[in-house]
Amino acid sequence: MTPELFYQSLQFALPEIVLAVGALAFLMMGVFIGDKSSQLISGLSIALLAVVGAWIMIAPGNGEAFGGAFIVDPFARFMKVAAIIGSIFALAMSAVQGKAMHLDKPEYPVLLVIATLGMLLLISANDLIAFYLGLELMSLSLYVVAAFNRDSLRSTEAGLKYFVLGALSSGMLLYGMSLVYGFTGNTGFQEIAAVLSSETRGLGLVFGLVFILAGACFKISAVPFHMWTPDVYEGAPTPVTAFFATGPKIAAMAILIRITSETFLPLISDWRQIIVFVAIASMLLGSFAAVGQKNIKRLMAYSSIGHMGYALVGLSAGSESGVSGVALYMLIYMIMSVGTFACIMSMRRPDGEYVEEVDELAGLFARKPFMAVVLTAQMFSMAGIPPLAGFFAKYYVFLAAVEAGLFTLAVIGFLTSVVAAYYYLRIVKLMWFDEPKGEFERTPGELRFIFGISGLFITAYVLYGGPIGSAADAAARSFF
Amino acid sequence: MTDWPILSTVTFLPLVGVLLLVFTRDDTDDGRQNVMIISLITTIITFLLSLLVWHNFDGTSADYQMVEQYYWLGKGISYHIGVDGLSVMFVVLATFLMPFGVLTSWKAITRHTREYMIAFLILEVLIVGVFVSMDLVLFYVFFEASLIPMFLIIGVWGGPRRIYASMKFFLYTLAGSIFMLVGILVMYAEVGTTSIPVLLAYQFSPEMQFWLFLAFFLSFAVKVPMWPFHTWLPDAHVEAPTAGSVDLAALLLKFGGYGFLRFSLPMFPLAADYFTPMILTLSVIAIIYASLVALMQSDIKKMIAYSSVAHMGYVTMAIFAVNQQGLHGAIFQMLSHGVISGALFLCVGIVYERTHTRNINDYGGLVHRMPKYALAFLVFTMANVGLPGTSAFVGEFLATVGVFRVSVWTAVFATTGVVLSASYMLWLYRRMIFGQAKSALMQGLVDISFREHCIVWPLIVVTIFFGIYPAPVFDASAATVDRIVTNYHAAIEAAATAVQAVK
């Protein structure tokens, strides 16, 4: 690599490099200042992420860096900004409730920043090796933060479960990659695509594809690779759960989109049946299994499985409108999750105890009208009722499926969304129709601000859905 | 004047009231009074503006008027509103009934008054929005969004079984309209836009029409509701607070009939023709079955709810007769049923506020204590029966004539509904108003107050005025109805000639 090329590569990856350097600097600060620096580092991390996010958004120029391993295109830009917004919200939530949840250590924000860095690399990965490196950078940080509350049995159990199953999925992913490399002789995504479109495909290649899809589906918690989700969501500290539901999902979905819609597009008939099956299974499990859940974090876990199913409906179309729909879906889902988890974090009794049972929300409307209204909007939005953002998210993914002629998939998807509406409605029913069960502690202003913003985004989406939709369309044009 | 977006103003004006209410307190009696006054003024101004829409509307043209179109979601989906002969009267009906909803809630709603009125005003926005939408996605957004405030109105302020009723209402209607959404996606994928005028001009293939018709039919049949999709309605009606029942019966049910007229007939004529026998049968079953069930009810609201099912049976029957009389009858019947069923629920609300019972057997002898109420209730009872001189007669007569031209037997069976409705309404009136008081609850009732006079008299005037002089309604809708009928038969004939040509 010539110095000029290297210099050019650095330019493309500069935001990520700044983030990496920043994370290391924060780590040093933590080492030297000690535990009391955690608030400061959280604040600095949020600022750094905001700067990097803005930078990525406005930085001009698309292209490849590091010999094609790292790609910057409108799609990467869109997903990165979405992932960074999710991370910022998660960090802010942790900073607010950190002390009570035993997250007030300086390593915590550093790990979150490193995980975010992993997401950005994953989203920009354009090569199997870069894909794996980004994924592991993200996942290893996630394993640690899942078990961060090390005095809690549930938290450590969640971390261990996540790690064991995550390692298994990484193994599958690597095995798939090695098969793909073996049968195509390349690791670069474009090169693989070129080989695929020129030659007849071997059976081994399809095996490789299946293993890679399995690894990616594990990360987005799609059925049948979802088993870790409910336990990890329930066991991890709530801000960590909120983090899991936002950035990592976006990044994993982004790479799934990239490998299906770019690299393996010539094999669409092979991967489409897998994605269709995974989508249907996720939607069914996500809606039916959530009905019986009593813990709201478990319920959100099943709900997220269902939502990933809906997003995959758009992916299965294998078209530009499908990718645009998925990108939009992930953005809207991220914001809905942030708002919902901010509400869950506000479920605190006056004695400082956090409650997680769905029933504890009874009569919330009488006690905390603002939070109840926001959470109601979130629930209706997740159920896909217009005029809230969740409806438009579903609209575009199902539109793509219908355009691709996948009518059965669309009808199944809509029917499961009616089932899912039942459990979202049950929460609304508890908050509005039932008698209050107990007092809640005053919600910290920062949390009110976070769920207020999220509520505003999803209720007012109907007014500015056009420009956001166009941005998602522009992102999707990177591939087709 | 022409540049002023009057339709958007009428649609979204209640949001101004919502904004004011957000900054009002409702924890004192005075505060509650303020909430009601703000809501009342908002709804009345909205009604007056909608009269301006009616006044500016040119009934001789079948086109959309007062059209506004702005960029919304891009890609063929825009904010596109306007009124034509089908919708203009429904806009007026919706805004006309809202002030009564506020008046009837004046004393009845004491818990969370402010939130109740906010939900109520938002519901008004959504209802008017459904009728003015000229874009299918916009229509669906308003159509579905109306579930949210209605769900809360039933669930928070409803009767003892409110939770069951609200859940059933929400999930039942959601399940129905999901199929319409699939239909909308298919149409968008086919045509590339959801603008209703463009879709009206597009010719869908017969096979596609078949499926699209079914998809839309499921949604509207639940909304109307047609037998056998009606089971959510009695529960929702009975448990909803009075104003909620009024909105539900008078306006939300009309979405279904309006949808049939707006989409099913003009867009899928071949499929509509194919399914007509089925729909006529279902309508007749609805009329007779619902009337018989109404006869056996002991709950006043449930009886009126079943009577609504029966009366909406006339509407669906008349729509699928597809001739001038039928469509005019259907539109008129929907408007008239909106006023009359709304008025009946309001009348029930008046006595319920005093006695807190809806059981018919608890009543009796009201005429001795509340003579003015007895008079008002008599008018609406007679109107619900379809007595000549009331607006219901015009609608039911035209509907039956329209059907008679298509299917004699359907008309014959449908007319039995008139006899049955007379039986249950008169029997209800006799048990409630005449005779002796049957329970202690009837002691010390006072006759209707000034506020309640304000509720019943305008409705009486409208019922009788349009019963005697229905021309203004027909003038507004005539051109549009003509076009629907002409295009429909032209499409059917074209298809028939095509088949001939192939042979």
Q: For A331-364, write each residue's pLDDT tens digit.
A: 999 999 999 999 998 888 888 788 888 888 888 8
Mean pLDDT of all residues in B102-123: 89
| Proportion of chain B above pLDDT 70, given as a percent | 99
Name the burial class of residue B70, with classes exposed (0-12), middle (13-18) and buried (19+) by CB atoms within 10 angstroms of its CB.
exposed
- Residue A213 token pair: 């899809």
- Residue B285 token pair: 């079953």
Q: How far is CA A29 from the centre of its chain?
A: 29
Distance, CA of A73 to CA of A138 (rounded, Å): 21
Q: Which residue has the tokens 């990965």?
A: A125
Q: Cβ distance A432 to A376 under 8 Å?
A: yes
Taking only the tens place, the pLDDT of each residue in B81-105 is 999 888 899 999 999 999 999 998 8
Distances (CA, A) of B201 to A330, B70, B130, B151: 36, 21, 21, 36
Could you tell me which residues are beta bridge partners of residue B83? B65
Q: How far is B89 from chain A (nearest CA, A)?
A: 25
**What phi and psi values does residue B74 have, to the nearest 5 degrees?**
75, 180
Cβ within 8 Å, pair A432-B148:
no
Amino acid letter, B241: P
User: Residue A37 pLDDT more than 80?
Assistant: yes
Mean pLDDT of all residues in B275-298: 92
Q: Which residue has the tokens 């919600």?
A: A443
Distance, CA of B209 to CA of B200 (rounded, Å): 12
Name the burial class of residue A197, with classes exposed (0-12), middle (13-18) and buried (19+) by CB atoms within 10 angstroms of its CB.
exposed
- Residue B181 token pair: 């959404």
Could you tell me which residues are beta bridge partners of residue A127? A188
Nearest to B155 among A403, A432, A466 (CB): A432
Could you tell me which residues are beta bridge partners of residue A63? A72
Nearest to B74 among A410, A432, A470 (CB): A470
**What phi and psi values does residue A295 have, to the nearest 5 degrees?**
-85, 130
pTM greater than 0.90: yes
Q: How far is CA A325 from the centre of its chain?
A: 15
Q: Cβ distance A384 to A390 under 8 Å?
A: yes
The interface predicted TM-score (ipTM) is: 0.92
Q: What was the pLDDT predicted at B417?
A: 87
Cis ω on the peptide bond leading into residue A3 (within 30° of 0)?
Answer: no
CA angle at B201 for the pair B72 and B273, rounded to the nearest 5°? 120
Taking only the tens place, the pLDDT of each residue in A106-139 is 889 999 999 999 999 999 999 999 999 999 999 9
Collect all residues with Cβ–Cβ distance below 8 Å to B116 and sequence separation of at least 6: B105, B109, B153, B156, B157, B241
- Residue B432 token pair: 């409630």
- Residue A16: left (phi > 0), alpha (psi -120 to 50), or beta? alpha
Q: What was the pLDDT predicted at A1?
A: 64
User: Residue B503 pLDDT more than 80?
Assistant: no
Q: What was the pLDDT predicted at A70?
A: 92
Cβ within 8 Å, pair A386-B163:
no
Which of A310, A320, A374, A399 to mutate against chain B (most B CBs within 10 Å)?
A399
User: Residue B122 pLDDT more than 70?
Assistant: yes
Distance, CA of B428 to CA of B360 (rounded, Å): 7
Q: Cβ distance A389 to A335 under 8 Å?
A: yes
The whole-chain average pLDDT of chain A stands at: 91
Distance, CA of B373 to CA of B429 (rounded, Å): 12
Mean pLDDT of all residues in B228-241: 90
Q: Cβ distance A145 to A163 under 8 Å?
A: no
Cβ within 8 Å, pair B145-A410:
no
Distance, CA of A480 to CA of A41 (rounded, Å): 41
Could you tell me which residues are beta bridge partners of residue A142? none
- What is the bridge-based pairing of β-strands B65-74 and A70-72? unpaired
- Residue A249 token pair: 């999902």
Distance, CA of B82 to CA of A317 (rounded, Å): 35
Angle between helices A128-146 and A203-219 (to 10 degrees): 30
Taking only the tens place, the pLDDT of each residue in B63-83 is 888 888 888 888 888 999 999
Distance, CA of A81 to CA of A65 (rounded, Å): 19
User: Residue A199 pLDDT more than 80?
Assistant: no
The residue ranges of DSSP E strands in B39-187, in sequence order, are 65-74, 77-83
Collect all residues with Cβ–Cβ distance below 8 Å to A258 and sequence separation of at least 6: A75, A125, A126, A189, A479
User: Residue A180 pLDDT more than 60?
Assistant: yes
pLDDT range class, residue B228, cuts 50, 70, 90: confident
Distance, CA of B418 to CA of B405 (rounded, Å): 19
Helix (H) or strand (E) holding A46: helix A38-58
Q: What is the SS3 assignment for B311-330?
A: HHHHHHHHHCCCCHHHHHHH
Q: What was the pLDDT predicted at B1?
A: 43
Q: Cβ distance A388 to A461 under 8 Å?
A: yes
Q: What was the pLDDT predicted at B2?
A: 54
Mean pLDDT of all residues in B452-475: 91
Nearest to A368 by CA among A425, A299, A444: A444
**Any idea what DSSP says for residue B69?**
E
Mean pLDDT of all residues in A39-52: 93
Q: Residue B47 half-sphere exposure, CB side, CA atoms within 13 Å? A: 16
Q: Cβ distance A253 to A332 under 8 Å?
A: no
Cβ within 8 Å, pair A422-B171:
yes
pLDDT range class, residue A203, cuts 50, 70, 90: confident
Which of A419, A432, A459, A463 to mutate against chain B (most B CBs within 10 Å)?
A432
Q: What was the pLDDT predicted at B337?
A: 92
Tell me the residues of A at the B interface, defined by beta carbons under 8 Å apart: 365, 369, 380, 385-387, 391-392, 395, 398-399, 402-403, 407, 410-411, 414-415, 417-418, 421-422, 425, 428-429, 432-433, 462, 465-466, 469-470, 473
B115 to chain A, any CB pair closer than 8 A? The answer is: yes
| Proportion of chain A above pLDDT 70, given as a percent | 100
CA dihedral B175, B181, B183, B189 (to 10 degrees): -150
- Pure H helices in A59-106: 74-97
Which is it for the CA torsion B340, B342, B345, B347, positive or negative?
Answer: negative
Q: How far is B13 from chain A (nearest CA, A)?
A: 17
Q: How far is B175 from chain A (nearest CA, A)?
A: 6
**Which chain A residues have a beta carbon less than 8 Å from that of B181?**
395, 398, 414
Mean pLDDT of all residues in A177-182: 93
